[in-house]
């Protein structure tokens, strides 16, 4: 029975994460928005859904399927700000930084390691 619950958890994460990515792909295909604008838009959607209380149930349902996409980063920032706001204004400003520090630090460290391991070059058309 434990095996089936793990498979169900993976399926839910894959379905929700895949749906978020499919929506992003539709936006890419049918608009003239740049990748940076789409990235910011999805992050802000995550922040807005968290502020409205709609993203937490999605995280509870899908787990990593909702927290790994960039909208999950918006959720993380908004969640940190809301928890920090309970302690005061300064904590509301530093809460998102504290909440996201582990992920951002890991991204910087692993990017540095990959830069040492591989030689970058420009792509020739």
pLDDT digits (tens, 9 = 90+) for 82-103: 999 999 999 999 999 899 999 8
Give the C-alpha separation, 69 to 116, whole Å.
26
Threshold 0.85, pTM exceeds? no
Domain definitions of the chain by residue range: 2-117
Give residue 125's pLDDT.
61
Give residue 63's pLDDT.
93
pLDDT digits (tens, 9 = 90+) for 50-72: 999 999 999 999 999 999 999 99
Q: Per-residue pLDDT for 9 more than 90?
A: yes
* Full DSSP string of the chain: -HHHHHHHHHHHHHHHHHHHHHHHHHHHHHS---HHHHHHHHHHHHHHHHHTT-HHHHHHHHTHHHHSSHHHHHHHHHHHHHHHHTT-HHHHHHHHHHHHHHHHHHHHHHHHHHHHHS---PPP-
Give the C-alpha separation, 102 to 110, whole Å.
12
Q: What integer best gives the mean pLDDT of the chain?
A: 92
Distance separating the N- and C-terminal Cα atoms of the chain: 52
């Amino acid at each position: 029975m434990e095996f089936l619950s793990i498979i169900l958890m993976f399926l839910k994460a894959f379905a929700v994460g895949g749906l978020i990515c499919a929506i992003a792909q539709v936006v890419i295909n049918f608009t003239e928005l740049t990748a940076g604008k789409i990235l910011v838009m999805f992050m802000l959607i995550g922040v807005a859904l968290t502020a409205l209380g709609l993203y937490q149930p999605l995280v509870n349902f899908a787990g990593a399927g909702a927290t790994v996409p960039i909208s999950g980063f918006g959720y993380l920032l908004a969640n940190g700000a809301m928890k920090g706001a309970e302690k005061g204004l300064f904590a509301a400003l530093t809460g998102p930084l504290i909440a996201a520090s582990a992920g951002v630090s890991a991204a910087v460290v692993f990017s540095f390691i990959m830069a040492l391991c591989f030689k970058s070059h420009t792509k020739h058309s």
